[in-house]
Every structure is written in structure tokens, then in C-alpha cells.
Amino acid sequence: MGRKRKGDRILKNYLAADTASKYLTVVLSYNGKRYVCYEEDCAMRHSAELMPVADRLLKEAGASLSEMDFFACVVGAGSFTGIRIGIATAKGFSLATGKPVLPLTSFRLAAYNGEGKKILALCDALHGKYYACAFDETGQETLPPSYIGQEEILRFVNDGYILRSTERLENLPDRFSCERVTPSEALAESCEKLSEDPSNFGEPIALYIRKSQAETEREQKAAAK
């Protein structure tokens, strides 16, 4: 049986997970149909929830890991622990099946289908700070992944950039209007688009834009001695 198509694309089977934030998104695409699980508040439970969710979606679809063409995970920016869980799971699936991994960033997900717009993709870094990456109308980066505050965000807004995120940025001041993309749709559409280019596959490497709180505290203690 031939693979189904979406426009000019031949649809691939894949299992993708976003564990980089407090929510959990898992998307399984099998024979042209999507199976989705989204949990709004999964903070500190990704390690316990991810495998059962993946197993449930595979059973619902009547699919197996060996039938996947690739696996995808979000490598950052976001929760250090969540990122590590997603990467380890994708690498485990890849090792077990011999299928490749498609690394994704939270920024690319936030900016998906943003052609023709200048986009500043944001993730909450807590304490009034944000992880950010900017894209021009063609999808090229104009700001590499960075750790910024509200004044820097304002400069991009004044330059005509649209703010986007896969998260609810509850601490972002009302003066900023931020579009929240649907996490599962952003994950699925990014997988289907980026998987068309073989060069996008490879070793998933965590995108840590700043040091973790634990690392910072250790360095401060060491410096104080």
C-alpha cells in the first residue's frame, strides 16, 4: 500500500514529543492520521508520563515503533530536566529501531507557518527573563537563541516583530501581545515540514542558553570560599 500524501508531501510515520516546558505534547503520525496527547500541566512528571502516553498512542493507532520513519524531540530552550528526558527517550527509540532523530527547537515550533512575518519566538525563562530567537520573513534567524528581558523584547516589537510562543506567558506584561500557537499542531507541522530535508536529522543536542540554577549556585558557593 502506497504512502498517503498531503499536497506534494508523502506523509511519514513518526513519533514526536515536546517535554521542554511544563506541558507535555506527544504526536504520533501513522498512515496519514495524527494521534495527539496534550497535558497542560505536567511539570516534574515528564519522566513518568512520556512512555505511557507514547505506548497508549501506539496502541490506539495499531502501530509499532519499528513502523516509524523517524522520531522527534524538542531540544530546547526550556526546562533543563524536561529537555534531557525528551532527548533520552528519542535516542532510545532510535537505538532500538535504527531510525533517525529529528531535533527541533521550541523557537521553530513557535515560528511555524510564519512565512512572510517577522517573528520573535519566546519561552519563559522565569524571573522576568525569556529565551528568545528571532526570524525574518523568510524564516532566517535574525537573533540567535538568547536570554533576554522585557526591554529587548520591546525593541523587537517596535521593529515590527510579532511575539509568538508555544507557552502561556502569564508573566508577560499586558503591553505585549503574544500569539500562542497550538502546541500539538506546531509540533506536527514542524515535523512534517522539516523532515523533508535529510540534513535536519542528526544527534539531538540539548540547547541550553544559560546555566542551570544548580550550576549557578555551585559556582557562587565555590567563588565565596
Structural domains present in the chain: 5-106+183-210 (3.30.420.40), 108-180 (3.30.420)
Per-residue pLDDT, 160 = 98
46-55, 174-183, 215-224: segment of lowest average pLDDT: 215-224
pLDDT band (50, 70, 90) for residue 135? very high
Q: Cα-Cα-Cα-Cα dihedral of 125, 172, 149, 167, to 10°?
A: 40
CB proximity list for 165: less than 8 A, separation 6 or greater: 110, 121, 122, 123, 124, 178, 179, 180, 181
Question: Percent of the chain, pLDDT > 70?
Answer: 89
CA angle 74–78–79, rounded 5-degree value: 105
Mean of the per-residue pLDDT values of the chain: 91
Kindly list the distances between the CA atom of residue 50 and the CA atoms of 24, 45, 116, in Å, as whole numbers in the listed order: 8, 8, 35
Residue 80 predicted with pLDDT over 50: yes
CB-based burial label for 142 (10 Å; 0-12, 13-18, 19+): middle
Which residues 6+ apart lie within 8 Å of 49 measured at CB? 24, 39, 42
- Using the predicted structure, report yes or no on whether residue 2 has a pLDDT greater than 90: no
